[in-house]
């Protein structure tokens, strides 16, 4: 029987891969046979996540990087290719969502940081790795965005705007890097992870969605595996709304 999610021998780079949905996806891809490059700002957390992947019998590279700082991205890409020789799947998952009291009180520094992590970093990393993927025969890029892009809340306006920009850039990069490289996005609603532990139970009981709950980690994993798989070869430039049928 064909395993459509088989990732044996594939190399997957996940930003924000040391916790939350990033770590869950890293484990899910490792279960399907992939080797991982795990990056986030804190090397200790990257190493802990990498050790968990290695305990599953896979190879993992831990690399500390602030994706909002373009100067650090070249080093990340160089380290990944030096270790594994290629990247088959890039998952731009890292994000920050600082709240603001009002637009008038939002500082230029904070709005630059918000766009840096949520849009500029994924843009640049996709450009660096997408070009290499084209040269080496193909690959898959997956941007993790947010339903805030279509249902923004005032206190998270810049975050929502950055994710909306990443949705648009997903299509643009699909056209630029195609046909060899596919670029898609997962526009995620709330999920039950360690990051959401302060609010996940209340959100789960009162979720305004068709499934009457928030998402579980395995539900983002299978969506990411589908988009990474060669069997989704006709899916590109697509933003998948993964929110349980929010009203």
Catalytic, out of 4, 159, 226, 234: 159
| 15 burial type by CB count under 10 A (0-12 exposed, 13-18 middle, 19+ buried) | buried
Residue 146 parent element (H or E): strand 139-146
| Ramachandran angles phi, psi of 187, nearest 5° | -95, 95
| Ramachandran angles phi, psi of 57, nearest 5° | 90, 15
- 159 in catalytic set: yes
Distance CA 189, CA 209 (A): 10
DSSP state of 94: -
Both tokens of 65, joined, read 């990087």
Both tokens of 9, joined, read 């021998």
Altogether, the residues listed in the chain come to a count of 247
Both tokens of 220, joined, read 């983002």
Strand 181-188 with 89-92, pairing:
unpaired
Active site positions, annotated: 159
């Amino acid at each position: 029987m064909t395993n459509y999610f088989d990732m044996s021998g594939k190399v997957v780079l996940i930003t924000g891969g040391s916790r939350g949905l990033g770590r869950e996806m890293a484990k899910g891809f490792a279960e399907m046979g992939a080797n991982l490059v795990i990056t986030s700002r804190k090397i200790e957390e990257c190493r802990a996540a990498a050790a968990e992947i290695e305990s599953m019998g896979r190879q993992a590279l831990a690399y500390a990087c602030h994706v909002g700082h373009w100067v650090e991205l070249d080093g990340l890409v160089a380290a990944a290719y030096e270790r594994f020789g290629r990247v088959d799947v890039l998952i731009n998952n890292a994000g920050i969502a600082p709240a603001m009291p009002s637009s008038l009180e939002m500082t230029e520094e904070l709005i630059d940081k918000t766009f840096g992590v949520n849009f500029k970093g994924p843009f640049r990393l996709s450009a660096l790795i997408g070009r290499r993927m084209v040269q080496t025969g193909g690959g898959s890029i997956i941007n993790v965005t947010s339903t805030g892009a279509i249902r923004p809340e005032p206190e998270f306006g810049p975050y929502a705007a950055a994710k909306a920009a990443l949705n648009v850039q997903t299509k643009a990069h699909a056209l630029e890097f195609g046909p060899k490289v596919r670029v898609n996005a997962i526009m995620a609603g709330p999920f039950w992870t360690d990051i959401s532990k302060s609010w996940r139970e209340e959100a789960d009981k009162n979720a305004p969605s068709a499934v009457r709950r928030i998402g579980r980690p395995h539900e983002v994993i299978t969506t990411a595996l589908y988009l990474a798989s060669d069997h989704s070869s006709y899916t590109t430039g697509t933003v998948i709304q993964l929110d349980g049928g929010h009203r």
